[in-house]
């Protein structure tokens, strides 16, 4: 998935305006749910990985008292975020190479950001590295409720979080393979349906929003999108994964 393509998608002002600055399903309600199930206390160090303009980061700082830092690869989104909230600690960085020391954070928040990363394993490894012992990764993202149809999503001409949808089992395998223990999984597919409905309401069709050069192309791509969605049955999840003590011991050679 070309990085430039996915960044330009999230820089689209139409999408940002529709979501109130939050370019993902669930909005702040899902952020609130993630905080609730993690039982994080005021003062914890949290990394918002893929923070965009920092809308969720501002909420976490102002309403929960977290010492939070946000990173994003988009200069456009970070510039807008700094203009709106100059006090927020925002930095340009990629999830596969986090500019932080080992064991710097109590929690990492990844809100619909893992699925758009080319090397998810590398990003999860970086999350493991920067988390303190017993730290927690909070993620919500898309998944394929029908794994056999996931390949069709990756073949779509446009790239989005749907392109990175895999089954629940593969998500759990990725997390556990990176040294985490999955302690919570909750389905929020309704949030994805509501987000898609808003896109259709604003732009007529999903393929119109993603952008097609001609009407004929739009019809053809619309049929392809519909077929892929029906086959994969994409859903949305919220998960919490704890940094495994056994994995920490193994990696430290103990």
Check if the beta carbon of residue 53 is closer than 8 Å to that of residue 84. yes
* pTM (2 d.p.): 0.84
pLDDT one-digit tens code per residue, 124-181: 999 999 999 999 999 999 998 887 766 666 666 556 667 777 899 999 999 999 999 9
Per-residue pLDDT band for 252 (boundaries 50, 70, 90) equals low
- In this prediction, residue 45 has a pLDDT band, given cuts at 50, 70 and 90, of very high
Output the pLDDT for position 224.
64
Q: What distance in Å separates the CA atoms of residue 82 and residue 74, rounded to the nearest whole number? A: 12
The pair of structure tokens assigned to 166 is 């895999």
Q: Is the pLDDT of residue 29 over 70?
A: yes
Q: Which residues sit opposite 234 in a β-bridge? A: 144
Query: How many residues are recorded in the chain?
Result: 254
Among the residue ranges 33-37, 66-70, 131-135, 249-253, the one predicted with the least confidence is: 249-253
Tokens of 193: 């349906």
Distance separating alpha carbons of residues 158 and 140, to the nearest angstrom: 21
* Cβ–Cβ under 8 Å, residues 24 and 6: no
| In the chain, % of residues over pLDDT 70 | 69
Q: What's the whole-number mean pLDDT along residues 204-232?
A: 53
pLDDT digits (tens, 9 = 90+) for 88-105: 999 999 999 999 999 999
Domains of the chain: 3-145+161-194+235-244 (3.40.50.150)
Per-residue model confidence as pLDDT tens digits over 63-93 = 999 999 999 999 999 999 999 999 999 999 9
Give kind and range of the element (H or E) at residue 209: helix 206-210
**pLDDT-based confidence at residue 195 (cuts at 50, 70, 90):** confident
């Amino acid at each position: 998935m070309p990085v430039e393509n996915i960044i330009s998608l999230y820089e689209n002002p139409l999408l940002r305006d529709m979501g109130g600055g939050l370019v993902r399903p669930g909005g702040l309600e899902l952020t609130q749910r993630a905080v609730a199930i993690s039982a994080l206390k005021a003062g914890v160090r949290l990394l918002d990985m893929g923070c965009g303009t920092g809308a969720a980061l501002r909420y976490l700082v102002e309403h929960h008292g977290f010492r939070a830092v946000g990173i994003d690869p988009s200069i456009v989104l970070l510039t807008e975020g700094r203009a709106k909230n100059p006090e927020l600690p925002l930095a340009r960085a990629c999830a596969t190479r986090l500019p932080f020391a080992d064991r710097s954070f109590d929690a990492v928040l990844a809100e619909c950001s893992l699925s758009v990363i080319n090397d998810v394993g590398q990003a999860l490894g970086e999350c493991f590295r920067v988390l303190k012992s017993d730290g927690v990764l909070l993620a919500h993202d898309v998944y394929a409720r029908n794994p056999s149809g996931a390949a069709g999503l990756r073949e779509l001409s446009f790239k989005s979080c749907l392109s990175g949808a895999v089954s629940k089992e593969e998500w759990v395998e990725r997390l556990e393979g990176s040294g985490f223990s999955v302690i919570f999984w909750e389905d929020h597919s309704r949030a994805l349906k509501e987000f898609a409905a808003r896109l259709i309401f604003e732009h007529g069709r999903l393929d119109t929003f993603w952008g097609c050069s001609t009407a004929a192309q739009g019809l053809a791509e619309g049929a392809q999108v519909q077929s892929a969605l029906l086959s994969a049955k994409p859903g949305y999840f919220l998960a919490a994964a704890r940094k495994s003590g056994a994995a920490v011991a193994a990696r430290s050679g103990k």
